[in-house]
Amino acid sequence: MSQHFQHDVLVIGSGAAGLSLALTLPGHLRIAVLSKGNLANGSTFWAQGGVAAVLDGTDTVQSHVEDTLNAGGGLCHEDAVRFTVEHSREAIQWLIDQGVPFTRDESADPEHPGFEFHLTREGGHSHRRIIHAADATGAAIFKTLLEQARQRPNIELLEQRVAVDLITERRLGLEGDRCLGAYVLNRATGEVDTYGSRFTILASGGAAKVYLYTSNPDGACGDGIAMAWRSGCRVANLEFNQFHPTCLYHPQAKSFLITEALRGEGAHLKLPNGERFMHRFDPRGELAPRDIVARAIDHEMKRLGIDCVYLDISHESDTFIKTHFPTVYERCLEFSIDITQQAIPVVPAAHYTCGGVVVDGHGRTDVPGLYAIGETSFTGLHGANRMASNSLLECFVYARSAAADILTQLDDINIPDTLPSWDASQVTDSDEDVIIAHNWDELRRFMWDYVGIVRTNKRLQRAEHRVRLLLDEIDEFYSNYKVSRDLIELRNLAQVAELIIRSAMARKESRGLHYTLDYPDMLPEALDTILVPTTYAD
């Protein structure tokens, strides 16, 4: 039997953004943090590089702002960039205070104490400003924040809970548009429970799983973006999907990302014959922004008919490599690749969703009571191409800003004590789950083929036709059978795929991560692609 729960704050997503918001709120609030799998299944845990912030005495806020604007292809919102960068130092200090074990600078002079942590440099950055924990920064941050959350009696950490849809006043036929919580599938019981909340936060990550090849974990299905869209929120710039240039190419590796910090520390991209090629595409070589590097690799692979290119740091000392990149070293060794002696086979893979749910500087969406933070959101920070290591920074800055905004409203917001239960009276158990598996595979394949690194009008039209057929089929399945995690994710993924395709078709130029052979030039005016929902979920 389904159950009803009531919280002050419901956080959908257990990564950096969600845990940071929960920990920033005061201890008297009842907070639920939901994870649709195990708590560590999100993208945060797998982030290797680090967090970009102005921490060194030779660096400046203005320099970080300018680097971000340059990487963003003219589409960054300067106010959002400046807001994020200006709050970077305090966000890092908060993480240090939580106990995150960032790598210390062994060369620091104890006689002249200053900033004591090691900083590295990544593509697009003009300074060393990436604070990190070796090459497993995400894991270090996640483990620390999770440990802190477990010590807070007011925070419930709930695993195997899959959000199905948001509950809004409009959905219930009431006056107003406020979000009142969410319907959530408990995978242990198979029941859809009702979670009422005064404030609901979407911190569920991006949608890179819409592509066949991705560096993301399996849960990156755009759930928050799809739920927000169905509830009446605008979305923006979903055509800008960042393809990380360097994912390990190996049949058994699945989705292991080779951190950009390798290139920051001098690794070379090479063709199979050992020739370097990045200088032909950009004077910054391997340190060019990700969109340029990914397109260069894609071009060389298609030009030569090769399966991958190679990333080589073997010219550095064994000690340097094992000290700075222990995770990459050990993981590659599992596949008999010794990076102290050999180059790493790499390919581009879908990595980050630069667009998302439109929010303001406090993470507020168009629906009152509903916030979106982290990769789910569109703040204006990333523009047409996210600069390396700005994403984790965005999580912390906007989580703290959203928490501060919630505190200003606590005395004014109450919701109904009882909300209607999920209605499963008209559905049955499915005996055709093969349809879900088939549709899942078809969707990801045509998105990779038609809406990938290089696009054309014809490819996008084909993708649009296919996704509309899939949406109709999925809606029919959803209406007749009980929900499962696979069905919920497929429904959300198809919805976000359709939004990505519509956004890509609307942009008649090439800019940043959106490159089309039909419009290879950049228009003189940079405009966001904003989609507005015209209908709402029943």
Domain boundaries of the chain, sorted by first residue: 4-239+354-407, 243-350, 434-519
Q: pLDDT per residue over 424-459, tens digit each?
A: 887 887 767 788 889 999 999 899 889 999 899 999
Strands (E), 333-461: 344-353, 356-358, 370-372, 377-378
Cα 409–chain centre separation: 28
Residue with the two structure tokens 């740091």: 313
Residue 112: what pLDDT? 47
CATH architecture of the domain with residue range 243-350: Alpha-Beta Complex (3.90)
Q: pLDDT per residue over 27-80, tens digit each?
A: 999 999 999 988 877 777 767 779 999 999 899 999 999 999 999 999 999 999
Residue 392: how many other CB atoms lie within 10 Å: 29
If one looks up domain 4-239+354-407 in CATH, what number appears?
3.50.50.60
Residue 98 in 3-state DSSP? helix
Q: Give pTM, 2 decimals.
A: 0.89
The span from the CA of 531 to the CA of 15, in Å, is: 27
Q: pLDDT per residue over 140-168, tens digit each?
A: 999 999 999 999 999 999 999 999 999 99
Work out the pLDDT band at 212, boundaries 50, 70, 90.
Answer: confident
Locate 322 and state its tokens: 């094992």
Q: pLDDT per residue over 178-192, tens digit each?
A: 999 999 999 999 999
Q: Is the predicted pLDDT of residue 536 greater than 50, yes or no?
A: no
Residue with the two structure tokens 């509903």: 370
Q: Among the residues of 13-87, which ranges form H helices?
A: 16-24, 61-71, 78-86
Sheet holding 530-531, edge to edge: 377-378, 356-358, 235-236, 530-531
β-partners of residue 214 are 350
- State which amino acid sits at residue 382: H
- Among 48-62, 238-252, 267-281, 420-434, which range has the highest average pLDDT? 267-281
Q: Is the predicted pLDDT of residue 274 greater than 60, yes or no?
A: yes
Average pLDDT of every residue of the chain: 92
pLDDT above 70 covers a percentage of the chain that reads 97
Residue 538: what pLDDT? 40
**434-519 adopts what CATH topology?**
Methane Monooxygenase Hydroxylase; Chain G, domain 1 (1.20.58)
Locate 432 and state its tokens: 């055709």
Residue 160: how many other CB atoms lie within 10 Å: 16
Alpha-carbon distance values, 290 to 71, 286, 372, 422 (Å): 9, 9, 25, 43
Q: Is the predicted pLDDT of residue 499 greater than 60, yes or no?
A: yes
Q: pLDDT per residue over 77-106, tens digit each?
A: 999 999 999 999 999 999 999 999 999 987
Work out the pLDDT band at 259, boundaries 50, 70, 90.
Answer: confident
* Residue 339 neighbours by CB under 8 Å, 6+ apart: 313, 314, 321, 325, 328, 329, 332, 333
Residue closest to 54 by CA, chosen among 73, 68, 74: 68
Handedness of CA 368, 495, 253, 305 (dihedral sign): negative
Residue 58 in 3-state DSSP? coil
Catalytic residues: 290
β-partners of residue 455 are 516
β-partners of residue 347 are 247
